[in-house]
A = this chain, B = another copy of it.
Amino acid sequence: MHLIFNKLNIHSVVHNFNSGPSILPKEVFEQASQSILNFNNSGLSILEIGHRTPLFQAVVDEAIATARELMQLDAEHEILFLHGGASTQFFQIPMNLLNENETAAYLDCGIWGTKAAKEAKVFGNVEIVASSKDKNYTYIPKDYVLPAGAKYFHCTSNNTVEGTQMHALPDTDIPLVADMSSDILSRVIDFNRYDLIYAGAQKNIGAAGVNLVIVKKDLLGKVSRKLPSMMDYRQHIEAGSLLNTPPVFAVYVCMLTLRWLKQQGGIPAIEKLNDEKAALLYDTLDSLPVFRPTVAKEDRSKMNVVFVMDNPDLEKEFLSLCKDNGMVGIKGYRTVGGFRASLYNALPLASVRALTGLMKDFANKKA
C-alpha cells in the first residue's frame, strides 16, 4: 500500500496484489533507495561497491545469519544466495542430485511443478507420483506411493498460479526437495525436515534475480557427471555464496527484508498476520455467492487467493472497479482466469480490507 500524489496533488492509494515480483516492506524500499545514493555512509552507492569488501561481506553474513535464525536451521543445512530464479533450480537440482539411470519422484500439482519435472528429465528418470491436472490443479493430491529407491521427492509447497498450498508432507525417508518460492517465511514449518529448499527471492525474500537455496551437505557429491563450477552447490558452499560476482543489490534487498521480518517478530508473528489476511479474504469470498473460490477448501493457499465469477461481464466490471481503486496485480493467471490476490508477508491487512470492502459493495450492488 503506497500513497501517491496525482497532478492535482490529491493522494490516492495503491494496493499491490502482484504475484511476484511483489510488494516488499516500505522500510525496505526506503533503505534500498537511500543505499543507492550512499551505502552505509561509505560515500558509495550499493551498486558500485566491491563484492569482496567488508562492506558487502557484512551484508551476506547478515542475510545468511538472519535466514538461519528465522527458519531455525540446523548446522547440517547450508544457506546459499545464487544467481537466477526458481527456473534455474529446476535444472540445477537434478544436475547435482540425479544420475542418468536414477529416478526422482515429482508431485505434479501446478504449472511450476510440471516445469520442474520437465527439466529433471534432461538429467535422469522422473516418476510423477500424483497429479491434480485432472481438475485443473485445484487440489493437492494426497494418497500417493513414492517409488522405492527414488533419489529425492520434489514438491511445490505453494502453487502461485493455482492458489493451492501443501499443508502436510508424505511420511518418507526419501530426501525431500521443495520449491517454496511463494510461501517461504510465511508460516512456521520444520525447515530441517527438508534436504533441499529453494525459492526465487521476489515474493517473501527480496528482489528478483537471486535464489535462496538451503541444502543439506550430505545430499551432495553423489552424481557421476562433471558439473560446471557455477552449477556445483559444493563450490558455492565453499565460497560462501561468493564464487563469482553475486547479484549484489538483490542480495542486499534480501538482507533488508529478512531484517524487517525479524523486527516484526519473525515467522510466528508474520504467520499470525498472514492467517488474519487469508481468513478475511476467504470468509468474504465464502459469504458472497457472486464470487467463487476455485480451490478445494482444505488446500487453499494463504499466499495466493484465486477466485472467479461465473459471469464474464461481471468479471470485467469488477476488474475495472479494482483498477479504479488502486488495486494492482489482481487479474488471474491466463490458464486460470478470474482473479488472484497475492497476500505475501509485506502486504498490509489494510489492503485486504480495501479489497474485501470493494467485494462487499460490488456484491450488494449486484444482489
Which residues of chain A have a CB within 8 Å of any CB of chain B? Answer: 2, 4, 12, 14, 16, 18-24, 29-30, 32-34, 36-38, 41-45, 47-51, 83-88, 90-91, 95, 115, 118-119, 122, 200, 202, 207-210, 226-231, 243-250, 253, 326, 328-329
Whether A228 and B91, one on each chain, are in contact in the complex, defined by CB atoms closer than 8 angstroms, is yes
User: Which of B24, B118, B246, B248 interacts with A45 by CB under 8 Å?
Assistant: B24
Whether A209 and B47, one on each chain, are in contact in the complex, defined by CB atoms closer than 8 angstroms, is no
Q: CA of A24 to CA of B45 in the docked complex: distance in angstroms?
A: 9
Whether A249 and B250, one on each chain, are in contact in the complex, defined by CB atoms closer than 8 angstroms, is yes
Whether B23 and A48, one on each chain, are in contact in the complex, defined by CB atoms closer than 8 angstroms, is yes
Residues of B within 8 A of A227 (CB): 122
User: Which of B2, B12, B20, B119 interacts with A228 by CB under 8 Å?
Assistant: B119
Whether A29 and B37, one on each chain, are in contact in the complex, defined by CB atoms closer than 8 angstroms, is yes
Min CB distance A336 to B, Å, is 15
Of A19, A84, A90, A208, most buried by chain B (CB within 10 Å of CB) is: A208
Whether B248 and A207, one on each chain, are in contact in the complex, defined by CB atoms closer than 8 angstroms, is yes
Residues of B within 8 A of A21 (CB): 47-51, 245, 248
Min CB distance A267 to B, Å, is 21
Whether B250 and A43, one on each chain, are in contact in the complex, defined by CB atoms closer than 8 angstroms, is no
User: Which of B29, B122, B230, B326 interacts with A36 by CB under 8 Å?
Assistant: B29
Q: CA of A246 to CA of B228 in the docked complex: distance in angstroms?
A: 22
Chain B residue with Cβ nearest A95: B228
Of A20, A48, A87, A248, most buried by chain B (CB within 10 Å of CB) is: A48
